[in-house]
Structure 1
Amino acid sequence: MRRLVTETLPTLLDVEASGFGRGSYPIEVGIARPDGSRCALLIQPLEEWTHWDPKAELLHGISRARLQREGYPVVQVACWLNDELSGLGKAYSDSWGYDNTWLSLLFHHAGMLPGFRLEALRLLLSEDQQALWSDTKEALIAERGIHRHRAGDDARLLQLTYARTLSLTTPSR
Protein backbone atom coordinates (compact mmCIF):
# COMPACT_ATOMS: atom_id res chain seq x y z
CA MET A 1 0.00 0.00 0.00
CA ARG A 2 1.26 3.47 -0.88
CA ARG A 3 1.36 6.28 1.64
CA LEU A 4 -0.98 9.20 1.13
CA VAL A 5 0.93 12.40 0.49
CA THR A 6 0.06 14.94 3.15
CA GLU A 7 3.03 17.30 2.86
CA THR A 8 2.44 20.83 1.63
CA LEU A 9 2.25 20.97 -2.13
CA PRO A 10 4.76 23.08 -4.03
CA THR A 11 3.53 26.31 -5.60
CA LEU A 12 3.29 25.89 -9.36
CA LEU A 13 3.24 28.71 -11.89
CA ASP A 14 2.25 28.62 -15.55
CA VAL A 15 2.33 31.30 -18.24
CA GLU A 16 0.33 31.39 -21.46
CA ALA A 17 1.80 33.54 -24.22
CA SER A 18 1.11 35.24 -27.53
CA GLY A 19 3.24 32.61 -29.24
CA PHE A 20 6.80 31.33 -29.06
CA GLY A 21 10.09 32.92 -29.94
CA ARG A 22 11.18 36.46 -30.61
CA GLY A 23 8.57 39.10 -29.82
CA SER A 24 6.27 36.80 -27.84
CA TYR A 25 4.94 38.04 -24.51
CA PRO A 26 2.89 36.77 -21.57
CA ILE A 27 -0.89 36.96 -21.87
CA GLU A 28 -1.95 35.01 -18.76
CA VAL A 29 -0.20 33.91 -15.60
CA GLY A 30 -1.61 31.40 -13.15
CA ILE A 31 -0.54 29.84 -9.92
CA ALA A 32 -1.56 26.81 -7.91
CA ARG A 33 -1.06 27.59 -4.23
CA PRO A 34 0.24 25.13 -1.59
CA ASP A 35 -3.35 24.56 -0.38
CA GLY A 36 -4.41 23.48 -3.90
CA SER A 37 -6.36 26.65 -4.73
CA ARG A 38 -5.56 28.35 -8.01
CA CYS A 39 -5.82 31.79 -9.51
CA ALA A 40 -4.94 33.36 -12.86
CA LEU A 41 -4.90 36.83 -14.35
CA LEU A 42 -5.08 37.86 -17.98
CA ILE A 43 -2.46 40.43 -18.97
CA GLN A 44 -3.30 43.49 -21.03
CA PRO A 45 -0.72 43.70 -23.82
CA LEU A 46 1.45 46.78 -24.00
CA GLU A 47 1.28 48.83 -27.19
CA GLU A 48 4.71 47.57 -28.30
CA TRP A 49 3.71 43.94 -27.76
CA THR A 50 2.46 43.18 -31.26
CA HIS A 51 3.51 39.57 -31.91
CA TRP A 52 0.44 37.36 -32.21
CA ASP A 53 0.46 33.73 -33.32
CA PRO A 54 -3.00 32.49 -34.39
CA LYS A 55 -1.86 28.91 -33.62
CA ALA A 56 -1.23 29.89 -29.99
CA GLU A 57 -4.68 31.46 -29.83
CA LEU A 58 -6.18 28.18 -31.05
CA LEU A 59 -4.49 26.41 -28.11
CA HIS A 60 -5.38 28.77 -25.27
CA GLY A 61 -8.56 30.22 -26.76
CA ILE A 62 -7.78 33.78 -25.63
CA SER A 63 -8.15 36.51 -28.24
CA ARG A 64 -6.10 39.69 -28.28
CA ALA A 65 -9.37 41.66 -28.12
CA ARG A 66 -10.29 39.82 -24.92
CA LEU A 67 -6.91 40.69 -23.41
CA GLN A 68 -7.45 44.36 -24.25
CA ARG A 69 -10.91 44.22 -22.67
CA GLU A 70 -10.34 41.97 -19.62
CA GLY A 71 -6.59 41.95 -19.04
CA TYR A 72 -4.90 43.60 -16.08
CA PRO A 73 -2.06 46.11 -16.54
CA VAL A 74 1.45 44.63 -16.28
CA VAL A 75 2.18 46.56 -13.06
CA GLN A 76 -0.92 45.13 -11.40
CA VAL A 77 -0.04 41.56 -12.47
CA ALA A 78 3.56 41.95 -11.24
CA CYS A 79 2.33 43.32 -7.89
CA TRP A 80 -0.13 40.43 -7.56
CA LEU A 81 2.61 37.87 -8.25
CA ASN A 82 4.89 39.46 -5.66
CA ASP A 83 2.04 39.58 -3.12
CA GLU A 84 1.27 35.91 -3.73
CA LEU A 85 4.79 34.53 -3.97
CA SER A 86 7.31 36.69 -2.11
CA GLY A 87 6.45 35.10 1.23
CA LEU A 88 7.04 31.64 -0.22
CA GLY A 89 10.28 32.63 -1.91
CA LYS A 90 9.85 30.45 -4.97
CA ALA A 91 7.49 28.81 -7.39
CA TYR A 92 8.05 26.01 -9.89
CA SER A 93 7.40 25.72 -13.62
CA ASP A 94 7.53 22.78 -16.00
CA SER A 95 8.61 25.13 -18.82
CA TRP A 96 11.17 27.14 -16.93
CA GLY A 97 12.99 28.52 -19.98
CA TYR A 98 9.88 30.01 -21.52
CA ASP A 99 8.04 30.98 -18.33
CA ASN A 100 11.09 32.64 -16.79
CA THR A 101 11.67 34.66 -19.98
CA TRP A 102 8.04 35.83 -20.07
CA LEU A 103 8.06 36.70 -16.34
CA SER A 104 11.27 38.67 -16.81
CA LEU A 105 9.62 40.61 -19.61
CA LEU A 106 6.55 41.27 -17.46
CA PHE A 107 8.59 42.53 -14.49
CA HIS A 108 10.90 44.57 -16.73
CA HIS A 109 7.95 46.43 -18.25
CA ALA A 110 6.36 46.84 -14.82
CA GLY A 111 9.60 48.48 -13.62
CA MET A 112 9.80 46.02 -10.75
CA LEU A 113 11.89 43.11 -9.53
CA PRO A 114 10.25 39.80 -8.71
CA GLY A 115 10.17 39.03 -4.99
CA PHE A 116 10.49 35.31 -5.67
CA ARG A 117 12.49 32.85 -7.75
CA LEU A 118 11.06 30.67 -10.46
CA GLU A 119 12.65 27.22 -10.45
CA ALA A 120 12.40 24.25 -12.79
CA LEU A 121 9.86 21.68 -11.58
CA ARG A 122 12.19 18.85 -12.55
CA LEU A 123 14.39 19.82 -9.59
CA LEU A 124 11.68 18.44 -7.28
CA LEU A 125 11.14 15.18 -9.15
CA SER A 126 12.83 11.88 -8.46
CA GLU A 127 13.74 9.64 -11.40
CA ASP A 128 10.75 7.45 -10.54
CA GLN A 129 8.41 10.46 -10.61
CA GLN A 130 9.84 11.56 -13.95
CA ALA A 131 9.24 8.09 -15.38
CA LEU A 132 5.57 8.22 -14.34
CA TRP A 133 4.98 11.88 -15.17
CA SER A 134 3.51 11.82 -18.67
CA ASP A 135 1.12 8.90 -18.14
CA THR A 136 0.01 10.27 -14.77
CA LYS A 137 -0.65 13.71 -16.21
CA GLU A 138 -2.72 12.28 -19.07
CA ALA A 139 -4.71 10.14 -16.63
CA LEU A 140 -5.51 13.21 -14.50
CA ILE A 141 -6.63 15.17 -17.57
CA ALA A 142 -9.01 12.36 -18.49
CA GLU A 143 -10.28 11.76 -14.94
CA ARG A 144 -10.93 15.39 -14.11
CA GLY A 145 -11.86 16.74 -17.54
CA ILE A 146 -9.17 19.40 -17.27
CA HIS A 147 -9.08 21.98 -20.06
CA ARG A 148 -5.48 22.55 -21.07
CA HIS A 149 -3.64 25.73 -21.93
CA ARG A 150 -5.19 28.03 -19.38
CA ALA A 151 -2.60 29.14 -16.86
CA GLY A 152 -4.45 28.44 -13.59
CA ASP A 153 -5.73 25.05 -14.71
CA ASP A 154 -2.34 24.02 -16.08
CA ALA A 155 -0.59 25.05 -12.85
CA ARG A 156 -3.06 22.97 -10.83
CA LEU A 157 -2.65 20.01 -13.20
CA LEU A 158 1.11 20.11 -12.63
CA GLN A 159 0.54 20.23 -8.88
CA LEU A 160 -1.85 17.27 -8.98
CA THR A 161 0.57 15.32 -11.17
CA TYR A 162 3.38 16.04 -8.74
CA ALA A 163 1.29 14.83 -5.78
CA ARG A 164 0.16 11.64 -7.51
CA THR A 165 3.61 10.70 -8.80
CA LEU A 166 5.00 11.33 -5.31
CA SER A 167 2.38 9.09 -3.69
CA LEU A 168 3.04 6.36 -6.27
CA THR A 169 6.80 6.41 -5.67
CA THR A 170 6.94 6.89 -1.90
CA PRO A 171 7.04 3.60 0.01
CA SER A 172 4.48 3.18 2.77
CA ARG A 173 5.74 3.14 6.31
Structure 2
Amino acid sequence: MLVHALKYRQQLAIAPVLAELLLETIRHQQSTDQPDLVIPMPLHPKRLQERGFNQAIEIGRHLSQQLRIQFCHDSCKRIKNTLPQAELPWKMRRDNVKKAFICNQNLSGMHVAIVDDVMTTGATLNELANQLRKQGACRITNWIVTRAQKERFWMQSDYCF
Protein backbone atom coordinates (compact mmCIF):
# COMPACT_ATOMS: atom_id res chain seq x y z
CA MET A 1 0.00 0.00 0.00
CA LEU A 2 2.84 2.41 0.85
CA VAL A 3 4.57 1.71 -2.49
CA HIS A 4 1.24 2.35 -4.24
CA ALA A 5 0.82 5.69 -2.44
CA LEU A 6 4.40 6.76 -3.19
CA LYS A 7 4.00 5.90 -6.88
CA TYR A 8 0.94 8.13 -7.18
CA ARG A 9 2.50 10.92 -5.14
CA GLN A 10 5.41 10.95 -7.62
CA GLN A 11 2.99 11.06 -10.56
CA LEU A 12 1.04 13.85 -8.89
CA ALA A 13 4.23 15.85 -8.29
CA ILE A 14 4.96 16.01 -12.01
CA ALA A 15 1.60 17.67 -12.83
CA PRO A 16 2.91 21.25 -12.36
CA VAL A 17 5.92 20.46 -14.57
CA LEU A 18 3.68 19.12 -17.33
CA ALA A 19 1.36 22.11 -16.90
CA GLU A 20 4.27 24.54 -17.29
CA LEU A 21 5.40 22.83 -20.49
CA LEU A 22 1.86 22.99 -21.85
CA LEU A 23 1.53 26.59 -20.68
CA GLU A 24 4.58 27.56 -22.71
CA THR A 25 2.98 26.12 -25.84
CA ILE A 26 -0.39 27.72 -25.09
CA ARG A 27 1.16 31.15 -24.63
CA HIS A 28 3.16 30.74 -27.83
CA GLN A 29 0.18 29.66 -29.95
CA GLN A 30 -2.66 31.48 -28.24
CA SER A 31 -4.47 34.28 -29.97
CA THR A 32 -6.13 37.08 -28.04
CA ASP A 33 -9.25 34.89 -27.73
CA GLN A 34 -8.60 33.24 -24.38
CA PRO A 35 -11.07 30.56 -23.18
CA ASP A 36 -13.71 31.53 -20.64
CA LEU A 37 -13.48 28.25 -18.76
CA VAL A 38 -11.09 25.32 -18.27
CA ILE A 39 -12.61 21.85 -17.84
CA PRO A 40 -10.44 18.81 -17.12
CA MET A 41 -11.19 15.44 -18.71
CA PRO A 42 -13.29 13.63 -16.10
CA LEU A 43 -12.45 10.19 -14.76
CA HIS A 44 -15.11 7.69 -13.79
CA PRO A 45 -15.44 7.58 -9.97
CA LYS A 46 -14.19 3.97 -9.90
CA ARG A 47 -11.06 4.89 -11.88
CA LEU A 48 -10.53 7.97 -9.71
CA GLN A 49 -10.72 5.81 -6.60
CA GLU A 50 -8.16 3.38 -8.05
CA ARG A 51 -5.76 6.12 -9.09
CA GLY A 52 -6.28 8.50 -6.19
CA PHE A 53 -6.24 11.66 -8.34
CA ASN A 54 -7.18 12.96 -11.76
CA GLN A 55 -4.07 14.15 -13.60
CA ALA A 56 -6.17 16.38 -15.87
CA ILE A 57 -7.53 18.20 -12.80
CA GLU A 58 -4.04 18.77 -11.43
CA ILE A 59 -2.71 20.04 -14.76
CA GLY A 60 -5.83 22.12 -15.48
CA ARG A 61 -5.82 23.73 -12.03
CA HIS A 62 -2.27 24.96 -12.57
CA LEU A 63 -3.04 26.23 -16.09
CA SER A 64 -6.15 28.10 -15.02
CA GLN A 65 -4.29 29.80 -12.17
CA GLN A 66 -1.43 30.89 -14.41
CA LEU A 67 -3.75 32.13 -17.17
CA ARG A 68 -6.34 33.55 -14.77
CA ILE A 69 -9.17 31.57 -16.35
CA GLN A 70 -12.08 30.09 -14.42
CA PHE A 71 -11.55 26.40 -13.60
CA CYS A 72 -14.46 24.01 -13.16
CA HIS A 73 -13.54 20.45 -12.27
CA ASP A 74 -17.06 19.27 -11.46
CA SER A 75 -19.28 20.57 -14.28
CA CYS A 76 -18.78 17.39 -16.33
CA LYS A 77 -18.91 13.81 -15.10
CA ARG A 78 -17.92 10.52 -16.64
CA ILE A 79 -20.97 8.36 -16.04
CA LYS A 80 -19.89 5.31 -18.03
CA ASN A 81 -16.98 3.22 -16.74
CA THR A 82 -15.38 2.59 -20.11
CA LEU A 83 -12.69 0.13 -21.08
CA PRO A 84 -9.21 1.69 -21.39
CA GLN A 85 -9.04 3.31 -24.83
CA ALA A 86 -5.41 2.28 -25.36
CA GLU A 87 -6.50 -1.36 -25.58
CA LEU A 88 -9.09 -0.78 -28.32
CA PRO A 89 -8.91 -0.23 -32.09
CA TRP A 90 -10.13 3.16 -33.39
CA LYS A 91 -13.60 2.09 -34.51
CA MET A 92 -14.31 0.55 -31.10
CA ARG A 93 -13.02 3.64 -29.27
CA ARG A 94 -15.84 5.84 -30.53
CA ASP A 95 -18.45 3.34 -29.36
CA ASN A 96 -16.62 2.79 -26.07
CA VAL A 97 -16.96 6.44 -25.03
CA LYS A 98 -20.38 7.09 -26.56
CA LYS A 99 -22.64 8.64 -23.90
CA ALA A 100 -19.82 8.39 -21.34
CA PHE A 101 -20.20 12.01 -20.13
CA ILE A 102 -22.81 14.39 -18.81
CA CYS A 103 -22.36 18.10 -18.27
CA ASN A 104 -24.58 20.10 -15.97
CA GLN A 105 -23.36 23.65 -16.52
CA ASN A 106 -24.86 26.22 -18.86
CA LEU A 107 -22.04 27.06 -21.28
CA SER A 108 -24.03 29.30 -23.62
CA GLY A 109 -21.72 31.34 -25.79
CA MET A 110 -18.59 30.24 -23.91
CA HIS A 111 -15.18 29.29 -25.22
CA VAL A 112 -14.17 26.18 -23.23
CA ALA A 113 -10.73 24.57 -22.99
CA ILE A 114 -10.64 20.83 -22.26
CA VAL A 115 -7.47 19.69 -20.51
CA ASP A 116 -6.18 16.13 -20.84
CA ASP A 117 -2.83 14.44 -20.45
CA VAL A 118 -2.75 12.15 -23.51
CA MET A 119 -4.56 12.06 -26.84
CA THR A 120 -4.42 9.11 -29.16
CA THR A 121 -7.30 9.14 -31.66
CA GLY A 122 -9.34 11.96 -30.13
CA ALA A 123 -12.48 9.87 -29.58
CA THR A 124 -12.75 10.74 -25.87
CA LEU A 125 -12.11 14.44 -26.46
CA ASN A 126 -14.65 14.45 -29.26
CA GLU A 127 -17.33 12.85 -27.09
CA LEU A 128 -16.78 15.32 -24.25
CA ALA A 129 -16.80 18.19 -26.74
CA ASN A 130 -20.17 16.98 -28.03
CA GLN A 131 -21.56 17.25 -24.51
CA LEU A 132 -20.11 20.74 -24.10
CA ARG A 133 -21.75 21.81 -27.36
CA LYS A 134 -25.09 20.48 -26.11
CA GLN A 135 -24.70 22.80 -23.13
CA GLY A 136 -24.14 25.76 -25.45
CA ALA A 137 -20.35 26.06 -25.77
CA CYS A 138 -19.64 27.99 -28.97
CA ARG A 139 -15.93 27.16 -29.16
CA ILE A 140 -13.91 24.28 -27.73
CA THR A 141 -10.14 24.14 -27.52
CA ASN A 142 -8.25 21.00 -26.51
CA TRP A 143 -5.15 21.48 -24.37
CA ILE A 144 -3.24 18.20 -24.43
CA VAL A 145 0.10 17.49 -22.78
CA THR A 146 1.13 14.77 -25.22
CA ARG A 147 -0.06 13.14 -28.39
CA ALA A 148 0.47 9.45 -29.11
CA GLN A 149 2.07 8.66 -32.45
CA LYS A 150 -0.76 8.65 -34.92
CA GLU A 151 0.99 6.19 -37.23
CA ARG A 152 0.56 3.59 -34.56
CA PHE A 153 -3.12 4.26 -33.90
CA TRP A 154 -4.64 5.69 -37.09
CA MET A 155 -5.15 4.33 -40.52
CA GLN A 156 -5.71 6.78 -43.40
CA SER A 157 -9.46 6.11 -43.44
CA ASP A 158 -9.69 7.12 -39.78
CA TYR A 159 -8.82 10.80 -40.30
CA CYS A 160 -12.48 11.90 -40.32
CA PHE A 161 -13.90 11.95 -36.82
TM-score, normalization by structure 1? 0.29
User: Which is higher, the Rg of structure 1 or of structure 2?
Assistant: 1
TM-score by length of 2: 0.30
